[in-house]
Amino acid sequence: MDDEPIVRWYWIGDHLGYLGDLLADHAVIALLPVLIGLLLAVPLGLVCTRYPRLYQPFAAVFNVVYALPSVAVFVLLIPYTGLATQATVMIPLTFYAVAVLLPTTVDGLRAVPEPVRQAATAMGYGPWHRLTAVELPAAVPYLVAGLRVAAVSSISLASVGALIGRGGLGYLFIDGFQRTFPTPIVAGIVLIAALALAVDLLLLGARRLLAPWAVREKGAAR
């Protein structure tokens, strides 16, 4: 197989539909846990901001989970969530996302100056209104920074799920390795990198839309 080229373009052309299906499956498996992780991290971050003593225990638990090898966690979940299911891959990825997003959420909420909170209260803002109108918008740059890291990590880790039968584009790595055929491997690498780049650019665009002042401040600092 020494004469095998790195890429056989005809194979890619013949399998565009297959590659598209794998890409869509990979996007769901990788990005839905990030969204769920955000929905979990924000309320946890709020609790940790209100009760600072809880932050370290919460962070320690999620850091321990984040340090666990993903393949080992997948195997442990198989008896409960089944082999080759989305849940088996997505549950660990959700915990990994929370481990990344919890610190950035807490940092963002803590970054709101106390005089700003007091001014909002003096203007008649209740706790919920102050949270949605002042504190969360001010934390957006921190949240987006965490989302960028969590999303790229999840897109990369999702491919490992192919080892237990559900890994989106990770199938291409196993297929190429088993057949000593590098074209699927190259296609998988390119598609994962393209997905990660597209998501990262979308998040940057969201930050510009939701927190334009942060972009202006960054430009002024330069």
3-state secondary structure 87-152: HHHHHHHHHHHHHHHHHHHHHHHHCCCHHHHHHHHHCCCCHHHHHHHHHHHHHHHHHHHHHHHHHH
pLDDT band at 2; cut points 50, 70, 90: low
Q: Say if residue 222's pLDDT is above 60.
A: no
Q: Which of 82-91, 187-196, 208-217 has the lowest mean pLDDT?
A: 208-217
Q: Say if residue 221's pLDDT is above 70.
A: no
Mean pLDDT is highest, among 52-56, 159-163, 197-201, for 197-201
pLDDT band at 126; cut points 50, 70, 90: confident
pLDDT band at 131; cut points 50, 70, 90: confident
Q: Which of 14-23, 102-111, 148-157 has the lowest mean pLDDT?
A: 102-111
pLDDT band at 218; cut points 50, 70, 90: low
pTM, entire model: 0.88
Contacts of 222 by beta carbon, 8 Å cutoff, 6+ apart: none
